[in-house]
């Protein structure tokens, strides 16, 4: 009985001891777990799910087994300590691997940048840079390592409590070991990584042994024994470093080769062949003989008719002719003989009149009604509410005309717009069918050509038929004005029976601004001059390059000088747009594409240019988008971005787009009309600058000059537009903006020679 009691007491005491030691083991484990960062936690999760290696799940089971008397205390305690070491080791390996990869990237990038910049340097500077380039690259790699590892450690421990962070300060150790990781970047490149990576791994192992806590390294043998743990992690780290090194080394070699070839390419630059694009009008004009028959040409160029009568004759023929003439360059004398060979037998006279007709059709078409007829037309709808107050039309286009009138109920001046006499949707549709029949008849033996020309004429007429509904123009004006930040859209009042009433635009027509100011003997100060220039660039950036914070982007598609008014009394928004029947609307994603697409012309990104030209294009049957893109891209590479072409010209965008459109035309690809309007609008915004080229003539030199500080402020205002556009891109659709940038970086990486030849061609010509 006594023995039994003694045995029971002994068992009870042993259990109490195991319970107490179990609590100690659990507390030790809690401390370890509490001090683990995100990396260690992640590894523990992976090991628990996979059932491999030491993990929290297994530790808790070990403690339960010890408590039950299945295993001894020493083995349980050792298991926990080995787990603690393994987690620390895995964390260090991960952070060192990421730091090494980042440092290798910085090393390779600096080498690329140095190689990229050397051709632009003075010979003496080039020698010095070449001499110290390796040291500079290595220095950047070390600096990257010094900053990257502490940053990664901060992220790893970001959720830990302040006390845990305080008890585990490693900033200076991380800075030093990060610098060592960075210093290994040049060594990692040895023998394309085959020799370098083993040396890097050896250095990293030695580094971890030196900086490991004393309690965790009883001996070198013990440390080496522990390296067997986390073999999967170490293998992954070695694999990542090897892959990164091999890739960077290959990239450096390919860049060196591309740069050398690009330097050879630009030694003998030749101008690329410029082409004139008339948006497909010329081909249709040649094919549809009904347009320019000899009798009709004789009437236009013959004697006895005024310019106005000849223009009316052209408009009565069909809507295509005046629209076509608007696309022809004003220097028509040399072009006339080329665009219609069949009329060579006719004696051409009054070519000067024809040139005048072409010029006038661009902004001053003939009036279809007298003032009396126009007033009668208005009164049928609005009664005596509006009275015309000028003896001629305010403005006339190919479809509509406008008159200045007085609103008799308010006394204010207003503008009324309505379709020209004889113009209607039915007329346009009749014209369309006439052309389709003529084109099909001219291409009876070539149905593929007939189909292409029919699609092309439909594309044009689909856009023109929209112009006859003036209620849509009023709606477009409201949208344009609502979205405007740096300009005004003329304010709409009402529309009834297709007679559109709007407020009178303040100021002077943009193309008449300088002459009108001189006629009135008005002057502007230097501050006012720079304010006008600054605001125009604000409008330019807003319309072409900006991305809205939210919602649709809206832009005027026909901003020729006659459709823009300038009011110098309005300091904040001097520019006002009229004639908003042709407005382009874009999603934020499309606006981002449009903004970034301008970069493509200067980096040789033929993929980006081709995509932009082909957006919503009408493809021939059987052709895919991918095939169309390859056709345009290959054509641009052959004719423009071939490494041997001088890209510095009068207007790079126009010349490249014309070649792209010609390539599309050769393969029966019809550009989307909105896309064509966008290209035309961009060129118009640039050409509008000519309206300000003589602004010095109205400058009052006796007024206060613009100070240097004020000039800098004006520049800041312009740069702010670009900055806001970038910020809005990120706010609007960060993922899409990033994708667009990545696409361009990918193109550069895959087309190094083309990219570098493009950059060098600009630099060489400008220097």
* Residue 1 clears pLDDT 80, i.e. is over it: no
pLDDT of residue 118: 63
What's the confidence (pLDDT) of residue 169?
A: 78
Task: Supply the pLDDT for residue 339.
Answer: 44
Average pLDDT in the chain: 80
By C-alpha distance, which of 401, 394, 436, 435 is closest to 418? 401
pLDDT band for 464, please (50, 70, 90 cuts): confident
571 DSSP 8-state letter? S
User: 672: which DSSP letter?
Assistant: P
Instruction: Report, as an integer, the average pLDDT of 548-573.
Output: 84
Buried b / exposed e along 307-342 (16+ C-beta atoms within 10 A): eeebbbebbebbbbbbbbbbbbeeebeeebeebbee
Please report, for residues 110, 543, 582, 649, 678, the alpha-carbon distance to residue 557 in angstroms, rounded to integers and kept in the order given. Answer: 44, 10, 5, 25, 6
Q: Highest-confidence range of 32-46, 557-571, 619-633, by mean pLDDT?
A: 619-633
Give the separation between CA 639 and CA 635, rounded to whole angstroms.
Answer: 6
Cα distance between residue 363 and residue 358, in whole Å: 10
- Strands of 341-399, DSSP E: 386-388, 395-396
Task: Enumerate residues 6+ apart whose C-beta is below 8 A from 197.
Answer: 188, 238, 241, 242, 245
Judge whether residue 132 has pLDDT over 60: yes
pLDDT over 60 at 350, yes or no? no
> Please, is 166 exposed, middle or buried when counting C-beta atoms within 10 Å of its C-beta (0-12, 13-18, 19+)?
exposed
Alpha carbon distance 675, 632 (integer Å): 15
Task: Give the pLDDT score at 342.
Answer: 42
Contact 364, 331 (CB under 8 A): no
Percent of the chain exceeding pLDDT 90 equals 17
Q: CB neighbours (10 Å) of residue 139?
A: 16
pLDDT digits (tens, 9 = 90+) for 708-750: 666 666 667 766 766 776 676 666 677 888 888 889 989 988 8
Instruction: Say whether 730 sits in a helix, a strand or coil.
Output: helix
- Report the pLDDT averaged over residues 656-663: 90
Q: What is the mean pLDDT of the segment spanning 222-227?
A: 60
Q: Which residues contact 222 (CB under 8 A, 6 or more apart)?
A: none
DSSP H or E segment with residue 499? strand 499-503
Give 35-83 as a 3 state SS string. CCCHHHHHHHHHHHHHCCCCCHHHHHHHHHHHHCCCCCHHHHHHHHHHH
Instruction: Tell whether the model's pLDDT for residue 531 goes beyond 50.
Output: yes
Task: Determine what percent of the chain is predicted with pLDDT higher than 70.
Answer: 78
What are the respective helix, strand and coil percentages of the chain, to the nearest 5? 70, 5, 25
Largest CA distance in the chain: 146
Residue 494 β-bridge partners: 501
Handedness of CA 257, 262, 267, 273 (dihedral sign): positive
**Exposed/middle/buried for residue 271 (C-beta within 10 Å: 0-12, 13-18, 19+):** exposed
Q: Quick one: DSSP state of residue 365?
A: P
Give the H or E element holding residue 565.
strand 564-566
Q: How far apart are the first and last CA of the chain?
A: 110
Instruction: Note the pLDDT of residue 338.
Output: 43
**Which carries the bigger pLDDT value, residue 132 or residue 22?**
22
Q: How would DSSP label each residue in 88-108?
A: HHHHHHHHHHHHHHHHHHHHH
| Mean pLDDT within 505-509 | 90
Which range has highest mean pLDDT (231-240, 421-430, 529-538)? 421-430
What pairing do the DSSP bridges indicate for beta strands 583-586 and 395-396? unpaired
Residues 305-344 have pLDDT tens digits of 888 888 888 888 888 888 888 777 655 545 544 444 344 3
Summarised one tens digit per residue, pLDDT across range 144-174 is 888 898 888 888 888 888 777 776 778 888 8
pLDDT for residue 207 is more than 80? no
User: Which range is most confident: 116-130, 515-529, 628-642, 653-667?
Assistant: 628-642
Q: Who contacts 684 (Cβ-Cβ below 8 Å, separation ≥6)? A: 558, 559, 560
Taking each helix axis from N to C end, the angle separating 606-613 and 652-666, rounded to the nearest 10 degrees, works out to 70
Least confident among 15-19, 377-381, 451-455, 524-528? 15-19
Strand-pair category, 575-577 with 270-271 = unpaired
Distance CA 554, CA 580 (A): 11
Q: Which range has the worst mean pLDDT, 169-183, 187-201, 330-344?
A: 330-344
For residue 640, the 8-state DSSP code is T
Q: Cβ(102)–Cβ(135) under 8 Å?
A: no
User: What number is the average pLDDT over the span 460-474?
Assistant: 88
- Packed helices 752-766 and 231-265: angle between N→C axes, nearest 10 degrees: 40
Check: CB of residue 416 under 8 Å from CB of residue 378: yes
d(C-alpha 591, C-alpha 728), whole Å: 11
Whether the CB-CB separation of 565 and 505 falls below 8 Å is answered with: yes
| Confidence (pLDDT) at 567 | 92
Please state the rounded mean pLDDT for residues 460-471.
88
Q: What is the secondary structure of 289-347 as a DSSP string?
A: TTSS-HHHHHHHHSSS--HHHHHHHHHHH-SHHHHHHHHS-S--HHHHHHH-GGGTTS-
Closest CA to 276 of 350, 332, 319: 332
Query: According to the model, what pLDDT value does residue 74 have?
Result: 87
CB 179 within 8 A of CB 146: yes
CA-nearest of 166, 202, 164 to 184 is: 202
What pLDDT does residue 292 have?
A: 56
**Bridge partner list, 391:** none
The predicted model gives 271-299 an average pLDDT of 67
Q: How far apart are CA 751 and CA 247, in angstroms?
A: 16
pLDDT higher at 43 or 624: 624
Using the predicted structure, report yes or no on whether residue 126 has a pLDDT greater than 70.
no
Short-list 372, 371, 290, 292, CA closest to 325: 292
CA atoms within 13 A on the CB side of 174: 21
Dump strand ranges (E) for 104-257.
Answer: none
pLDDT by residue (tens digit) across 374-423? 999 999 999 999 999 988 998 888 899 999 999 999 999 999 999 999 99
Alpha carbon distance 107, 111 (integer Å): 6
Length reported for the chain: 767
Provide the strand spans (E) within 226-312: 270-271
Closest by CA to 656, choosing from 672, 667, 642, 670, is 642
How many CB atoms neighbour CB 765 within 10 A? 13
| Rounded CA separation 151/421 (Å) | 74
């Amino acid at each position: 009985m006594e023995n039994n009691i003694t045995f029971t007491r002994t068992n009870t005491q042993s259990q109490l001891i195991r319970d107490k030691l179990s609590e100690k083991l659990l507390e030790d484990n809690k401390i370890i777990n509490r001090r683990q960062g995100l990396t260690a936690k992640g590894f523990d999760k992976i090991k628990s799910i996979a059932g491999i290696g030491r993990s929290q799940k297994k530790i808790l089971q070990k403690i339960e087994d010890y408590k039950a008397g299945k295993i001894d205390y020493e083995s349980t305690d050792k298991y926990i300590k080995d787990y603690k070491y393994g987690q620390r080791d895995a964390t260090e390996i991960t952070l060192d691997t990421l730091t090494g990869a980042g440092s290798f990237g910085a090393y390779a990038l600096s080498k690329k940048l140095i190689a990229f910049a050397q051709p632009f340097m003075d010979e003496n500077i080039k020698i010095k840079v070449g001499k110290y380039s390796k040291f500079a690259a290595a220095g950047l790699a070390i600096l990257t390592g010094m900053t990257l590892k502490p940053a990664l450690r901060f992220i790893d421990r970001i959720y830990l409590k302040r006390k845990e962070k305080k008890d585990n300060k490693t900033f200076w150790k991380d800075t030093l070991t990060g610098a060592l990781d960075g210093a290994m970047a040049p060594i990692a490149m040895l023998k394309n990584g085959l020799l370098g990576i083993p040396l890097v791994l050896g250095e990293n192992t030695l580094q971890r042994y030196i900086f490991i806590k004393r309690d965790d390294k009883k001996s070198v043998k013990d440390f080496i024994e522990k390296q067997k743990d986390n073999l999967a992690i170490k293998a992954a780290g070695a694999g990542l470093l090897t892959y990164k090194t091999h890739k960077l080394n290959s990239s450096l070699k390919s860049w060196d080769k591309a740069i050398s070839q690009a330097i050879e390419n630009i030694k003998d630059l030749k101008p690329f062949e410029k082409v004139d694009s008339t948006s497909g009008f010329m081909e249709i004009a040649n094919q549809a003989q009904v347009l320019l028959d000899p009798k009709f040409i004789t009437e236009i160029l013959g004697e006895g008719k005024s310019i106005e009568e000849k223009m009316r004759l052209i408009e009565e023929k069909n809507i295509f002719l005046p629209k076509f003439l608007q696309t022809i360059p004003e220097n028509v004398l040399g072009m006339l003989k080329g665009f219609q060979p069949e009329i060579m037998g006719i004696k051409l006279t009054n070519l000067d009149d024809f040139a005048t007709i072409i010029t006038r059709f661009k902004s001053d078409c003939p009036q279809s009604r007298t003032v009396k007829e126009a007033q009668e037309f208005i009164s049928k709808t609005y009664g005596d509410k509006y009275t015309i107050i000028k003896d001629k039309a305010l403005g006339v286009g190919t479809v509509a005309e406008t008159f200045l009138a007085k609103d008799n109920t308010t006394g204010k001046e207003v503008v009324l717009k309505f379709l020209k006499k004889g113009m209607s949707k039915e007329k346009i549709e009749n014209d369309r069918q006439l052309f389709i029949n003529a084109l099909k008849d001219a291409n009876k033996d070539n149905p593929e050509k007939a189909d292409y020309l029919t699609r092309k004429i439909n594309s044009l007429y689909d856009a023109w038929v929209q112009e006859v509904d003036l209620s849509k123009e009023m709606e477009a004006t409201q949208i344009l004005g609502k979205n405007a930040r740096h300009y005004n859209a003329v304010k709409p009042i009402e529309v009834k029976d297709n007679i559109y009433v709007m407020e009178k635009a303040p100021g002077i027509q943009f193309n008449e601004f300088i002459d009108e100011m001189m006629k009135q003997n008005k002057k502007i100060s230097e501050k006012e001059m720079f304010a006008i220039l600054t605001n125009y660039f604000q409008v330019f950036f807003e319309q072409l390059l900006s991305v809205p914070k939210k919602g649709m982007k809206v832009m005027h598609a026909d901003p020729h000088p006659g459709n823009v008014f300038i009011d110098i009394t309005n300091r904040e928004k001097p520019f006002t747009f009229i004639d908003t029947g042709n407005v382009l609307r874009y999603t934020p994603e499309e606006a981002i594409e449009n903004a970034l697409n301008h970069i493509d012309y200067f980096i040789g990104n033929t993929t980006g240019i081709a995509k932009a030209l082909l957006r919503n294009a009408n493809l021939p049957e059987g052709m895919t988008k991918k095939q169309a893109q390859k056709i345009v891209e290959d054509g641009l590479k052959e004719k423009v971005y071939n490494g041997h072409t001088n890209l510095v010209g009068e207007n790079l965008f126009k010349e490249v787009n014309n070649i792209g459109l010609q390539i599309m035309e050769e393969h029966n690809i019809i550009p989307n009309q909105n896309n064509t309007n966008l290209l035309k609008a961009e060129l118009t915004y640039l050409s509008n600058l000519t309206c300000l080229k003589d602004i010095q003539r109205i400058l009052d030199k006796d007024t206060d000059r613009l100070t240097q500080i004020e000039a800098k402020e004006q520049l800041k205002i312009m740069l702010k537009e670009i900055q806001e556009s970038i910020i809005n891109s990120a706010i609007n659709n960060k993922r899409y903006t990033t994708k667009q940038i990545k696409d361009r970086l990918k193109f550069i990486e895959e087309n190094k020679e083309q990219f570098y030849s493009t950059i060098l061609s600009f630099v060489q010509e400008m220097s």
